Structure 1
Amino acid sequence: MNIESLKMFCHVVDEGSITKAAKLGFVSQPAVTRQIHQLEELYGALLFDRVDGKLKLSEAGKVLYPYAKEIIDYTERSFAAVHELTGRAETVLNVGTSLTIGEYLLPDILGSFSKIYPNIKFSITVRNTPTILTKLEHNDVDVALVEGAVGNKELITEKFADDELVLIVPANHRWTKKESISIIELPEEKMLWRETDSGTRQIVEDALSRLEILEQIRNSMELGSTQSIKSAVEAGLGISILPKLTVLRELKYGVLREVKIEGLQLVRDLWLVQKNHRFPKTGLNYFIEYIRGL
């Protein structure tokens, strides 16, 4: 079996067209078509159907796809293992992270880890949690670091850290003169939220709803990123509850201030997620053990 044909088959599935797969593989469209036909002859089944002029995976193609991804992944792992033994190649780990971890936590982790294992290199993918978990399931990343819920029970999930959610206000806000505020004081200020499907926002809203205060917060604004919220709070446009991980620098330099809320402590778990591989990728165990030791 030609491993390149399986790779091209996966490219066509992932990209949704032969044209895009050809560009990705730096080959001609006829070459892609030829490789797909070779696979179809080998398996004795059509792998794609054309529906309204578009390629659609056939039932046989749907069955083959996860096997093809696994074969490609293990083939690459075997080369990496042998090349490491013979000293012919360096290890590249593909790490997928959710947005907050990728932007605020991972850089320090990689900096410290690389001092211990300088020959291990990284390719980083930063997306939302569902996207990263899908990439892990499809072997597009070797390990995932996420802060959201992991629904797939076949994945190996373990907590590696936690992150507190804190109330932040401008440096000159009247609340900074207090040791803490009462929960009933929150509606006095404009609350700055992330978008409605944000995991952080859902945690905060659930907690405030249980305390019967959420409905009283009517003066609010929705912003599309954590950075935009921090800038808005700094400018005095409102207050917000954000992961402490994302505001450490601003708190350190006094740009923003943290205010305690009496009777409310919000902590979310950060997860290390991996697949159960018979032959783990070279260097992956070192990285996982390092994460566990944080």
Structure 2
Amino acid sequence: MNLEQIKTFLTVYRSGSFQKAAELLFIPQPTVSHRIHQLEKQVGKPLIIRRKSGNLLTTEGKAFYPYALQLLEVLEQGQIAIDKAAKHEEVRLEIGCTNSLSNPFLYDILQGFTSHFPHMHIKVHSFSTTEIIHAIRMGTFNIGLSRYAIDDTELSFRMLDSEHVTFIVSRKHPWAGKRSVTLEEVAQHPLIVYQEGKQYRETIEFVFNQRNLVYQVKYEMHNLELIKQMVGGSHVATLFAPSYMGNELAGGQLVAIPIQGRPFPMRQTFLVYNKAKLTAADKLFHDHVLTMKMPG
């Protein structure tokens, strides 16, 4: 299935005849027939009913038509991006991402993406999820990664990953060898948490309050890199999904200990985008993310 076949299928339907389609596409009529035949062969069903009074779509053709429109747009945009890349012309991509997802989640995605599209110019906007959703809705950029999804008629959300919240400590911590901890033990341990007013902090507080537990706040901050350093260099602990601490966990500096009963809601990662406004570069990134094995 290729760009010429899709374009020919749509032109035959819109013009009503193979001959008119040939004239509109500036190709011989047998070429039109060959393209339609090859397309029907690939999909395994007839798509067009040939009639002297005007061609009609089969039931399968009608079902295929809206997807053909989308395919044509994607293929044309993709071809533009490829042509620019081949000419070493700059193709720009803008992405929104929260700080917590930048490393290693977005890093791993971009490593694979840029290996396929080395001439792509990429700009990453670092905002909170709320700000990312607002920016995409306003058209500042069209695609990004978020920590939650909302009901929005203009935006699409595709879940990429889902993780349990764990108890994160230094490898030198006395509890580093534990197979699990209870929520009661967590509540009695000094913690680094996000500042008040952050959704993640509110979620943590809600769970502790439900269990009638008072937890110990040693530090409050909204700088993930500093939190990692503080946990790695002391006996203080924190509560995060493992992907937040991916490199540090992989390198052995930090240890993620499961919490018995998994009391906290799972931390999810979504690809969020405005489908109606996606550029060729956006679509290439969209397709890459949805087909790759997620890191973490």
**Alignment TM-score, normalising by the size of structure 1:** 0.64
Structure 2 residue 289 is matched with structure 1 residue 291: yes
* C-alpha RMSD of the superposition: 2.7
Q: 1:9 — aligned with what?
A: none
How far is the alpha carbon of 1:83 from its aligned partner?
8.0
Structure 2 residue 120 is matched with structure 1 residue 114: no
CA deviation map 1:134-157 (0-9, x unaligned): 221121112121113435342111
How far is the alpha carbon of 1:121 from its aligned partner?
2.8
Q: 1:258 — aligned with what?
A: 256
Q: 1:225 — aligned with what?
A: 223
Query: 1:1-294 alignment to 2 at 5 Å?
Result: 89-213=89-213, 216-264=214-262, 266=264, 267-277=266-276, 280-294=278-292
Residue 268 of structure 1 aligns with an amino acid whose one-letter code is R
Q: Is the CA contact (8 Å cut-off) linking 1:193 and 1:201 kept in structure 2?
A: yes
How far is the alpha carbon of 1:174 from its aligned partner?
2.4
Inter-CA distance 219–265: structure 2 relative to 1 (3 Å threshold): closer
How far is the alpha carbon of 1:81 from its aligned partner?
7.7
How far is the alpha carbon of 1:260 from its aligned partner?
1.9
Residue 104 of structure 2 aligns with an amino acid whose one-letter code is Y
Inter-CA distance 85–221: structure 2 relative to 1 (3 Å threshold): closer
**Alignment TM-score, normalising by the size of structure 2:** 0.63
Partners of 1:107 and 1:238 in 2: CA distance: 27
How far is the alpha carbon of 1:234 from its aligned partner?
2.1
Q: 1:73 — aligned with what?
A: none
Partners of 1:93 and 1:203 in 2: CA distance: 33
Structure 2: which 5+ residue stretches go unaligned? Answer: 1-75
How far is the alpha carbon of 1:241 from its aligned partner?
0.3
Q: 2:19 — aligned with what?
A: none
Matched residue count:
214
Partners of 1:80 and 1:290 in 2: CA distance: 12
CA deviation map 1:152-206 (0-9, x unaligned): 3421112122243221122222222332222221232112111113333233223
Q: Is the CA contact (8 Å cut-off) linking 2:207 and 2:263 kept in structure 1?
A: no
Q: 2:8 — aligned with what?
A: none
How far is the alpha carbon of 1:84 from its aligned partner?
6.2
Name which one, 1 or 2, has greater alpha-carbon Rg: 2
Residue 198 of structure 2 aligns with an amino acid whose one-letter code is S
Identical-residue share of aligned pairs (%): 18
Partners of 1:79 and 1:113 in 2: CA distance: 17
Structure 1: which 5+ residue stretches go unaligned? Answer: 1-77
Structure 1 range deviating more: 163-172 or 148-157: 148-157
Inter-CA distance 199–103: structure 2 relative to 1 (3 Å threshold): farther
How far is the alpha carbon of 1:85 from its aligned partner?
5.5
Inter-CA distance 84–173: structure 2 relative to 1 (3 Å threshold): closer
Residue 128 of structure 2 aligns with an amino acid whose one-letter code is N
Partners of 2:217 and 2:94 in 1: CA distance: 43
Partners of 1:82 and 1:189 in 2: CA distance: 56
Inter-CA distance 219–204: structure 2 relative to 1 (3 Å threshold): closer
Q: Is the CA contact (8 Å cut-off) linking 1:187 and 1:219 kept in structure 2?
A: no
Q: 2:72 — aligned with what?
A: none
Structure 1 range deviating more: 80-89 or 133-142: 80-89
